[in-house]
Structure 1
Amino acid sequence: MLPSSRFVVFDVETTGLTPSAGHRVIEIGAVCLENSVCTCEFHSLIDPGCKVPAAAQRVHGICDAMLCGQPGPSAVFPDFHRFIEGAVLVAHNARFDISFLRHEFSKQRLPLLNGIRCTLELSRRCLPDLPNYRLQTVARHLLGGLPLQGQLHRALDDARLAARVWVALGTAFTAK
C-alpha cells in the first residue's frame, strides 16, 4: 500500500446477489482515506424502483418504506463517480461490490477506471490461519474487537470497518 495514495473504501447493500438477474444497489457507503486518515465520507440510500425481497431485508434490514422518497440511481451514481475520481477503490469481497458498481455505472454511462483492491483477498494472504474471512472476523483479529456503535450489513458502517481493516492490513503487511 502506498502511504500517500488516496483510497476509497466502499460497501453496497443490494436487493439480491446478481446484477445480471436484475438485482440493484439500494445503499452505498464509502470512506475516503488519504495517508490512512479518513478525510470524508459518502452515503446514500437509493430507491431502485423495485421491491426489496424479504430475504435481502433480513440481511441488511433495509425495507421498501426506508427507500421511499430517496434519490434514484441516476442521482446517486454520478455523485459517487465524482467522489471516487482519482482514487483506488477498496472493498471487502470486492468482486461482489464491483460487479454491482460496474452494473449501476453502465446504466448511467459512467466509466469505472479506478484501480481495485480487496481486503478479503489481502486478508487471506496475510492471515492464513483465520477460521473464516468475513469482515467481522478479520476486524476482530486485527483490531481486537468490533466498534461498539454501528450496524453490520449497513453500507457506511461496513465501509468504515473495512477502512480500519485496510489500514491495519497495510500496517501489518509493510511491517513483515
Structure 2
Amino acid sequence: MKADTVVVLDFETTGLSPDAGDRAIEIGAVRLESGEVVDRFQALMNPGQRVSGFIEDHTGITNTMLANSDHSAKVMHQFADFIEGHNLVAHNASFDKRFLDAELARISRSYSGDFSCSLLASRRIYQQAPNHQLGTLIKYTGIASTGDFHRALYDSEMTVKLWLHLLATINDRYPIKNISFATIQQLNRTPKKSVEQWLARQSEGLPTKKRLKTGG
C-alpha cells in the first residue's frame, strides 16, 4: 500500500502508560487516500475515572466534558470500524500504539494494518531540526498552524500535513515514484548516517545489500 493512503491518529490520555492504569480520553484521526483527506474521526471518551488537574490544563479536556461523553467501549468500537483495512501513522507512534492496543483489547477488537511513525521519519529526513516534537517540526517546515496542540484531531491534522511534507521532501530529493508504506517503515529503521545512501539506492531501484539496523 502507498504511504499516502493511511489513517493518521492521535490519542489524548490520562497519563503515559496503559500498563500503569492510564486510559485514553480522546481520539482524533484523519483518513488519507492518495494524499487527499477523505474522512475524519473525533470523539471524547469516558474511561470511568477522573483525570488530574495537570491533564485538564494540558489538554483542556475537563472531567465534566468526559462525564458527558460516550463510554470508551462505544467509541473504540466505532474507531475500530474507522481504521479497518488501513495502515496507521502517529507522531511518536509507540505511545499511540500502546493505547490503541490496550483500549481495543478491552473490547476484544483488533486491527489489520501496520504502524509507522512520523517522528522517526522526521529524525531521518529533517536531521537539522532543533528537535522533533510535532510543534517544532511544523514551524521548521513552514507548515501553517492556527490551532492549539494537545487536542487529538488537531494534532492528527498537523501530523497529516507533516507526513505529506515528508513524502514530498523525499520525492524532491530522490524521485521515488509512489512511495510505499513499507519504504517508510524501512526508512525508520535506517541509521541516520546512512539515510542519504539508502534513499539513493531506493531511487535507483536497487536492493539493499544487508538487513538494516535500527537507528536512533
Task: Give 1:109's aligned residue.
Answer: 108
Task: Give 2:86's aligned residue.
Answer: 87
Task: Give 2:157's aligned residue.
Answer: 160
Matches within 5 A, 1:39-118: 39-118=38-117
Contact 1:9/1:89, CA 8 A, preserved across alignment:
yes
SS in 2 for 1:33: strand
CA shift at 1:145, angstroms? 4.3
SS in 2 for 1:49: coil
Contact 2:138/2:145, CA 8 A, preserved across alignment:
no
Distance 1:106 1:135 in 2: 28
Larger Rg belongs to: 2
Compute the TM-score of the two structures, normalised by the length of structure 1. 0.94
Compute the TM-score of the two structures, normalised by the length of structure 2. 0.77
The root-mean-square deviation of aligned C-alpha atoms, in Å, is: 1.3
Distance 1:98 1:43 in 2: 17
CA shift at 1:141, angstroms? 1.7
Identity, % of aligned positions = 38
Matches within 5 A, 1:132-151: 132-142=131-141, 144-148=142-146, 150-151=147-148
SS in 1 for 2:153: helix
Q: Give the strand-richer structure, 1 or 2.
A: 1
Any idea what the Cα deviations from partners look like across 1:52-86, whole Å, max 9, x if unmatched?
A: 01222222111101111211111011110110111
Q: How many residues align?
A: 173
Distance 1:166 1:8 in 2: 11
Task: Give 2:118's aligned residue.
Answer: 119
Moved over 2 A (4+): none
How has the CA–CA distance of structure 1 residues 10 and 87 changed in structure 2, closer, same or farther, with 3 Å as cutoff? same
